[in-house]
Amino acid sequence: MSDPHGLPTGDGAPPRGLARFGVIAAGLAALVLVGGIYVRTRDSHEAQVTSDDTARPSVHLITPTTAGKMNELVLPGTMQAWFTAHIYARVGGYVHAWTRDIGADVGKDAPLATIDTPELDQQIIQARATLERARAEAALARSTAARWNDLVKSKAVSVQETDEKNADAKTHAAAVDEAAAALGRLLAMKGYATVRAPFAGLVTQRNADIGDLVGPGATNQTPMFAMADERRMRIYVNVPQEYSAAMHNGLTATLKLPDYPDQTFPATLTDQSFAIDQRTGSLQVQLKTDNPGFKLKPGGYAEVHFALPGAGDRLIVPSGALVLRDHGSQVATVTANGRVHLIPVIIGRDLGGKVEINSGITAGTRLIANPPDSISEGEVVRVEGAHD
């Protein structure tokens, strides 16, 4: 309908172009709404998947190795010097001087310190005087006995009196010996006023300083020096009983030290206790090695590597792969659906960081490398490197 001028009125239908525009706009709005719902749904699903993956513990799988012809047994060892000595003052006095400090390489009987001994010096003077008096008295007794022996021949004196004079001479002679021995003992003590090295080696401690009171009269008896002969070393190792049969004199080993990680040092087993310590269940063995560069230090720790005959087909796993429970040892595997399965195993020899497995798994069994103590049967895990 139109007015007299030919213009459309409000009572008529809208033009076709305007209607098509409205339909298109409504369609676009619907598409935007549907797309937004889809994106939110997809993001929510991905977030849920990511959250589930993050919640699952990540594990690394390994496979057992075989023992081979030789097994390496690694045990801790304690290094000791060939000889060690704590040197105390044998005689009382005051430190006059010390001539060697820590680290000094000294020979046998080398002087380390000297001690002033005023009391001992006075005792020596007194002992010398006592000896001189004893000698004089002995000389008089001898001459008297000689005269009486001459007189008894002419019966000028009695035999009884002559025997008494002879006995008196012998008594004084014994007194001379006694006084000489007393002086000799004091002179020997005076020799200890020079403190000497008991053997060739290194000075490892010096506790004495000038003016210190040392020896029997000191209230705090501490060693003046400590020494060690480090040219050769002893290494003590406690070997578990199951390996004791493999220990024998002449068995070679390799030492590794934490302070020299890139070097190894050879050693040879020379002695063993031939008894199992009930407290530790182990056999103590002693190894020896030369130490020309003084790299092995007394009291230090060493990793001792023994090469022992292997079991051939026996399986070996890291000690960290074991799950230790009250009812026995287990290893953890992962099923196809990503769940933990615990398998009981029988452990053989402990190789120090690794253990032999006597039964329970096969060579192809894939194990969790370091399962946590809290791991449980059926727990959901994520294998590193695997794709869902």
Tens digits of residue pLDDT in 2-60: 454 444 444 444 555 545 555 555 555 555 454 555 445 455 444 444 445 556 888 99
Structure-block tokens of residue 306: 């023994």
* Contact yes or no for 87/224 (Cβ under 8 A): yes
Rounded CA gap, 145 and 161, in Å? Answer: 10
In CATH, which of 3.40.50.720, 3.90.76.10, 1.10.287.470, 3.40.50.2000 is domain 82-213?
Answer: 1.10.287.470
Structure-block tokens of residue 126: 């007194």
The more confident residue out of 350 and 160 is 160
Residue 134: name the closest of 164, 173, 165, 169 by CA: 173
Structure-block tokens of residue 206: 């010096």
Tens of pLDDT, residue by residue over 81-127, are 999 999 999 999 999 999 999 999 999 999 999 999 999 999 999 99
Structure-block tokens of residue 200: 């060739």
Residue 78: name the closest of 330, 319, 250, 296 by CA: 296
**pLDDT band, very low/low/confident/very high, at 270 (cuts 50, 70, 90):** very high
Domain limits, CATH 1.10.287.470, in the chain: 82-213
Is residue 218 pLDDT above 70, yes or no? yes
How crowded is the C-beta side of 56, counted as CA atoms within 13 Å?
21
| β-strand pairing of 252-257 with 282-290 | unpaired
| β-strand pairing of 58-59 with 382-383 | parallel
The edge-to-edge listing of strands for the beta sheet with 93-98 is 194-196, 111-116, 93-98, 213-214
Q: Tell me, what's the pLDDT at 29?
A: 54
Domain limits, CATH 2.40.420.20, in the chain: 60-68+313-383
Q: Could you tell me the fold of the domain covering 74-81+231-310?
A: Elongation Factor Tu (Ef-tu); domain 3 (2.40.30)
**pLDDT band, very low/low/confident/very high, at 69 (cuts 50, 70, 90):** low
Domain limits, CATH 2.40.30.170, in the chain: 74-81+231-310
* Contact yes or no for 205/224 (Cβ under 8 A): no
The β-bridge partners of 196 are: 111
Structure-block tokens of residue 94: 């005051």
The β-bridge partners of 290 are: 232
Mean pLDDT estimate for the chain = 86
High-pLDDT (> 70) share of the chain, %: 83
Residues 6+ apart with CB under 8 A from 342: 323, 330, 331, 332, 333, 375, 376, 377
- The CATH number of the structural domain formed by 60-68+313-383 is 2.40.420.20
